[in-house]
């Protein structure tokens, strides 16, 4: 059995494009302590600890865990704490470039594959009206960086992405598909 160690509806939807049958079991871990690490180490640490937690009770299954962070000026920007915080984050990123890093781990038996994908994201210059209406929609409140690139049609926030668009959504499915295929063959 394949288990996705994530509560994210976006990860669930993306994995469904690759695997028909999988189970979802969320791993409740303390992510705050990892945020004291440098960004790349932090995101890898969180993804690995999520997978290890599920692997402990499901040792014979294939576990896929992931974590996504937004990094701006070497600062990790997580999910907003509330609407005001979402507005602050969007103001900070407005008209600027930042990086989205998703780390993922695939556990099979004693094997652990750890990888990460980095994409560069450029924001349009956002005005107050755009930020207010986007935050009022509720969409940014459960996303790292307080935005979802998939919201761009209705709220044109992202000017361009260099790298994997599914990485920016939170699950670099192109890379995961290839690695999952290889690990299942082994």
Q: What is the pLDDT of residues 4-58, one digit of tens each?
A: 999 888 899 999 999 989 999 998 898 888 888 999 999 999 999 999 999 999 9
142 flagged as catalytic: no
Which tokens hold the place of 98?
A: 């930042």
The predicted pLDDT at position 33 comes to 85
Q: What is the pLDDT of residues 59-118, one digit of tens each?
A: 999 999 999 999 999 999 988 999 999 999 999 999 999 999 999 999 999 999 999 999
Measuring CA to CA, which residue among 139, 122, 119 is closest to residue 130? 139
How much is the CA Rg of the chain, to the nearest whole Å? 16
Q: Buried b vs exposed e over 20-37: b needs ≥16 C-beta within 10 Å? A: eebeeeebebebeebeee
Catalytic residue among 67, 127, 132, 142: 67
């Amino acid at each position: 059995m394949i288990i996705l160690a994530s509560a994210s509806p976006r990860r669930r939807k993306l994995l469904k494009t690759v695997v028909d049958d999988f189970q979802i079991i969320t791993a409740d871990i303390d992510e705050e302590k990892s945020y004291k690490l440098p960004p790349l180490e932090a995101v890898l640490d969180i993804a690995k600890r999520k997978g290890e937690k599920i692997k402990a009770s499901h040792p014979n299954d294939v576990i896929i865990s992931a974590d996504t962070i937004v990094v701006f000026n070497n600062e990790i920007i997580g999910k907003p704490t509330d609407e005001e915080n979402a507005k602050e984050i969007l103001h900070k990123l407005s008209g600027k470039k930042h990086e989205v890093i998703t780390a993922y781990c695939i556990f099979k038996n004693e094997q652990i594959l750890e990888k990460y994908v980095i994409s560069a994201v450029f924001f349009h210059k956002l005005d107050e009206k755009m930020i207010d209406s986007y935050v009022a929609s509720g969409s940014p409140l459960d996303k790292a960086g307080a935005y979802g690139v998939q919201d761009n049609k209705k709220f044109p926030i992202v000017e361009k992405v260099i790298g994997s668009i599914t990485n920016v959504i939170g699950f670099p499915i192109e890379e995961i598909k290839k690695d999952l295929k290889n690990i299942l063959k082994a």
